[in-house]
Amino acid sequence: MKTPIADFCRRYADSGAARLHMPGHKGQGPLGVEELDLTEIRGADSLYEADGVIAESEANAAALFGARATFYSCGGSSQSIKAMCLLAVRSWKKTHDGTPTILAGRNAHKSFVQAAQLIGFDVAWLPSEEPEYALCRCTVTPKGLDRRLSQTGPVAAVFVTSPDYLGNLLDLKGLADVAHAHGAPLLVDNAHGAYLKFLPDDRHPITLGADACADSAHKTLPVLTGGGYLHIGPDAPEGFEATAREAMCLFGSTSPSYLLLQSLDLANDWLEKSALSAFSETLERVDALKEEFRAQGFSLIGDEPLKITLSGAVLGPESGVEPEYLDRDTAVLMFSPQNTETDYQKAARAFRKAPEGETAPALPVRLPEVVLQPREVLLKPTETIPLSGAEGRIAAVVDIGCPPAVLPVVPGETIDREVLRILDHYGFQTVNVIK
């Protein structure tokens, strides 16, 4: 597959042109990549007005993912999540009056809450259909969604997170069918699942019927940190792609990194030529390691193919392993084709089981009382106070240890004893509240 962005940047680096433009390093510096770090010079195209090499590369990505259109992000999924919420709200406003509402799984990334504040839509939360609090898991079934949409009435969109941070997958095909039956587009935070397109069993949200989804390419593909995609599904509402660039521009820098754009561009070639076989081999190796952990007596969480989530695991000293996430209850390990056999061997030896009773019991949870919508909180004065004195106060920011996670409280909700228990369990000592 052609790599037009990377090819242009290399030609320019080799041309010897006098760089009388930004950036200030002028193609020289200690990192060794400065010669390829450009700005919107002639021929380099412009991310938010793309009609040249960037547009060609994005079209290549769209073909690989089966999307109607794909737009590059240099701000990870956070930028794409905000943009696709704006697209849904704009579409809804064409035929409706008043403040739109997006129905969202409670384990939303904080960028979704920020989108509600910045764009000005209301949020109706979908709590997990399981009775106990889990840090990341928010079970939403097609049946449960259908029941809730029947009660809620028209919404601008349904927003869910799949896979979640611990590796749980939702029935996106079923959720898409239900959302569409109620006239709502399905938006998916697929930050951890870009690779799902390139497994023998294609489980990518766009394939399963999502109208738009945000992929953090850098999380699971050979892409530099910050590189991502906004995908528009084949059957998305008319006009989604027409204003997508403008929406992305609202939430991103007007000086996007050309190093990230080259990384996304070069990934297209790897995805076309090598991804299917590489991910198939990785899947077999990860499955084998999962069996090794089970044989050691570990309990595994989630069904995401290339993520291993251990319950009640303790990381040994000097293990030589850096997990994606580690707390008192859970260890999350992420694998890709770029991991070596040594990485797998180290992982197999790195953990021991926590002593019986050392892990904390599950915490029951109910959604706190809503006093204000997140959009109503953004400009209010706030203060940070000790957790011990926060009962009854109204939260002003998203507080949780890892995103995306089930949010014990969001801006505008009352901090009650249940919220305090959860925040205390995860080590919080202070909380930001409305004055």
Q: Write the pLDDT tens digit of every residue in 70-86.
A: 999 999 999 999 999 99
pLDDT for 289: 98
What's the whole-number mean pLDDT along residues 54-66?
98
Q: With a cut of 90, say whether residue 31 has pLDDT above it.
A: yes
Task: Say how far apart CA 187 and CA 230 lie, in whole Å.
Answer: 11
Local confidence band at 361 (pLDDT 50, 70, 90 cut-offs)? low
Which is more confident, 363 or 270? 270
- Convert the chain into a string of H (helix), E (strand) and C (coil): CCCHHHHHHHHHHHHCCCCCCCCCCCCCCCCCCHHHCCCCCCCCCCHHHCCCHHHHHHHHHHHHHCCCEEEEECCHHHHHHHHHHHHHHHHHHCCCCCCCEEEEECCCCHHHHHHHHHHHCEEEEECCCCCEECCCCCCCCHHHHHHHHHHHCCCCEEEEECCCCCCCCCCHHHHHHHHHHCCCCEEEECCCCHHHHHCCCCCCCCCCCCCEEEECHHHHCCCCCCCEEEEECCCCCCCCHHHHHHHHHHCCCCCCCHHHHHHHHHHHHHHHHCHHHHHHHHHHHHHHHHHHHHHCCCEEECCCCCEEEEECEEECCCCCCCCCEECCCEEEEECCCCCCHHHHHHHHHHEEECCCCCCCCCEECCCCCECCCHHHCCCCCEEEEEHHHCCCCEECCCCCCCCCCCCCCCCCEECCHHHHHHHHHCCCCEEEEEC
pLDDT for 402: 66
**Chain segment 189-231, per-residue pLDDT in tens:** 999 999 999 999 999 999 999 999 999 999 999 999 999 999 9
pLDDT for 403: 67
What's the whole-number mean pLDDT along residues 3-8?
98
For the chain, which domains are there?
4-273 (3.40.640.10), 277-353 (3.90.1150.10), 368-434 (3.90.100.10)
pLDDT for 5: 98
Q: Across all residues in the chain, what is the average pLDDT?
A: 95
Q: With a cut of 90, say whether residue 349 has pLDDT above it.
A: yes
Q: With a cut of 70, say whether residue 166 has pLDDT above it.
A: yes
Local confidence band at 426 (pLDDT 50, 70, 90 cut-offs)? confident
Q: With a cut of 90, say whether residue 355 has pLDDT above it.
A: no
Find where tokens 């106060």 sit.
393
pLDDT for 425: 84
**Chain segment 122-150, per-residue pLDDT in tens:** 999 999 999 887 878 899 999 999 999 99
Task: Say how far apart CA 365 and CA 385 lie, in whole Å.
Answer: 23
Q: With a cut of 70, say whether residue 165 has pLDDT above it.
A: yes
pLDDT for 133: 79
**Chain segment 224-269, per-residue pLDDT in tens:** 999 999 999 999 999 999 999 999 999 999 999 999 999 999 999 9
pLDDT for 141: 98
What's the whole-number mean pLDDT along residues 49-68?
98
What's the whole-number mean pLDDT along residues 42-56?
98
**Chain segment 364-414, per-residue pLDDT in tens:** 778 999 999 999 999 999 999 999 999 999 999 977 766 678 889 999 999
Local confidence band at 160 (pLDDT 50, 70, 90 cut-offs)? very high
Phi, psi angles (nearest 5°) of residue 104: -135, 140
pLDDT for 77: 97
Percent of all residues in the chain with a pLDDT value above 90, rounded to a whole number: 88
Phi, psi angles (nearest 5°) of residue 295: -65, -25
The pTM for the full model equals 0.96
